[in-house]
């Protein structure tokens, strides 16, 4: 039986189904080393023209359905033949997976293009371990352009527990959906501006629900929703193309050898405050805005002659533990993202990797990866009730819209020796990653080297941004 909520949306749903094939596909499923299973999947097809924005929720996607320990999740945009598409043609704003419980016998469309989630009781939201409230940022590993060059592997023997049958409510079945937000920037007058969702480039004054935008909202998610278009050069033509999201999942079947870990997604815009309930007990109240506008800094605020914008939030986790690994999401212009303990110690720090070529995965000027964070096992502890500081540093030379800073951290109650792991774990703190012609050195604990790299990265970013501003961001 279709709920009243869905009856009201039926015309919109039918329109969506016209433009998208409703089912994902399994490319391959295999067993790798150390009993790690690997699945490679394709999202339904999406057709795009220059300037188009695709914003989809694909429900009931192909995903492991048994009781598992998540080991990694990666994704990229490909064409209909499976070839990687460079970011300067189709920009991946973000993608993520999320679990839900569907009431047996109820109807939820396979494809939607709205940020309104289906309603209870047909749909029950299954989120990560925190920290944002309600349905905000409840996903498991959400990244963007940096997905291709960012390791997301959770080292053995740890894993994030998924699909536990004991947690499924009676009368429901557990399923997964994939959210995809991509922008076709072929021929765009400003490729970076399209990726930042600047409202003037989309000719948008209302959000997707028809509500007027405030005059000081220059850009962000409210301006690049489904069916909007980013401005393309006059006279530019390119064929309509089919694109898909290829997502790769690795996991282990759940057993007693796996050390369970929690997944927290931290947002730099989280204005957390401590409030007291009716019994006088204090507890954290989170307010995650997801994105923010970064205004250019004044010359007097510059460091080494370069403007730097630093944003911080102070939060407390629902439960402390050992930090196992972390990945970050950030945008063009980012310099670093860091977590500090209450005493000022560095818990984790990552630096963006900027491309310097034209191939997919090494697009010049784009953030194509981030340095990973894998502390020595047992060396980093987040204490129970400890206030941690989340710091995001961007180049502040120009206004940035739709700016983000997300930290996905994996935390466990127990510490264990690493039994095995992928090649990039071999050197731990002095980790070296080769990405095409680029080599990035993990600098956790190497403060002097980190500062030098940060300044070098900053200078490089400023140079590319200045160059880009002179040629319409075509070459970045």
* Positions of E strands within 20-139: 25-31, 37-42, 46-48, 53-59, 68-79, 90-103, 111-112, 123-126
When mean pLDDT is compared across 98-102, 140-144, 218-222, the lowest value belongs to 140-144
**pLDDT value, residue 431:** 38
Q: How confident is the model at residue 451 (pLDDT cuts 50, 70, 90)?
A: very low
Q: Which two tokens stand for residue 454?
A: 């940060």
Tens digits of per-residue pLDDT, 313-337? Answer: 999 999 999 999 999 999 999 999 9
Report the pLDDT value the prediction gives residue 2, as an integer from 0 to 100: 32
Bond before 250 cis per omega within 30 degrees: no
Q: How confident is the model at residue 123 (pLDDT cuts 50, 70, 90)?
A: very high
Query: What CA–CA distance (Å, rounded) separates 307 from 156?
Result: 41
pLDDT in tens, 58-67: 999 999 999 9
| 353 Cβ contact partners less than 8 Å away, ≥ 6 residues apart | 146, 149, 367, 368, 369, 370, 371, 435, 438, 440
Is residue 293 a contact partner of residue 217, using CB atoms and an 8 Å limit?
Answer: yes
The full set of domain ranges for the chain reads 25-412
């Amino acid at each position: 039986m279709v709920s009243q909520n869905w009856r009201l949306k039926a015309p919109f749903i039918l329109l969506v189904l016209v433009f998208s094939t409703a089912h994902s596909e399994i490319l391959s499923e295999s067993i790798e080393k150390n009993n790690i299973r690997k699945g490679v999947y394709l999202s339904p097809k999406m057709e795009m023209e220059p300037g188009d924005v695709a914003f989809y929720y694909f429900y009931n996607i192909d995903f492991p359905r048994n009781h598992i320990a998540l080991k990694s999740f990666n994704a990229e945009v490909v064409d209909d033949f499976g070839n990687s598409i460079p970011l300067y043609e189709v920009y991946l704003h973000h993608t993520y997976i999320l679990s839900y419980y569907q009431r047996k016998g109820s109807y939820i469309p396979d494809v939607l293009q709205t940020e309104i989630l289906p309603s209870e009781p047909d749909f029950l939201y299954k989120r990560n371990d925190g920290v944002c409230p309600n349905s905000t940022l409840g996903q498991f590993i959400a990244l963007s352009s940096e997905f291709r060059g960012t390791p997301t592997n959770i080292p053995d023997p740890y894993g994030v527990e998924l699909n536990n049958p004991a947690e499924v409510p009676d009368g429901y079945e557990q399923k997964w959906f994939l959210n995809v937000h991509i922008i076709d920037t072929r021929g765009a007058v400003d490729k970076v501006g399209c990726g930042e969702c600047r409202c003037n480039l989309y000719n948008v004054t209302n959000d997707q629900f028809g509500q007027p935008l405030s005059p000081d909202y220059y850009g962000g998610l409210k301006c690049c929703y489904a069916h909007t278009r980013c401005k393309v050069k006059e006279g530019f033509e390119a064929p309509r193309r089919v694109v898909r999201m290829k997502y790769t999942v690795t996991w282990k079947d759940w057993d007693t050898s796996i050390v369970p870990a929690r997944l927290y997604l931290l947002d730099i815009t989280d204005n957390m405050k401590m409030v007291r309930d009716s019994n006088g007990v204090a507890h954290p109240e989170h307010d995650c805005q997801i994105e923010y506008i970064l205004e250019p800094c004044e010359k007097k605020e510059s460091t080494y002659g370069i403007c730097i914008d630093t944003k911080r939030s102070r939060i407390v986790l629902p439960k402390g533990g050992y930090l196992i690994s972390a990945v970050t999401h950030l945008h063009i212009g980012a310099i670093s993202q860091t977590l500090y303990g209450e005493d000022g110690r560095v818990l984790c720090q990552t630096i963006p990797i900027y491309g310097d070529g034209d191939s997919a995965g090494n697009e010049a000027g784009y953030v194509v990866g981030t340095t990973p964070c894998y502390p020595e096992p047992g060396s980093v502890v987040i204490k129970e009730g400890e206030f941690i500081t989340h710091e995001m540093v961007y180049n502040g030379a120009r206004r940035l819209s739709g700016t983000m800073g997300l930290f996905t951290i994996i935390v466990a109650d127990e510490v264990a020796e690493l039994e095995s792991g992928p090649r990039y774990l071999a050197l731990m703190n002095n980790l070296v990653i080769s990405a095409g012609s680029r080599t990035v050195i993990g600098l956790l604990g190497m403060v002097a080297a980190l500062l030098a790299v940060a300044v070098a990265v900053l200078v490089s970013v400023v140079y590319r941004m200045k160059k880009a501003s002179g040629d319409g961001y075509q070459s970045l």
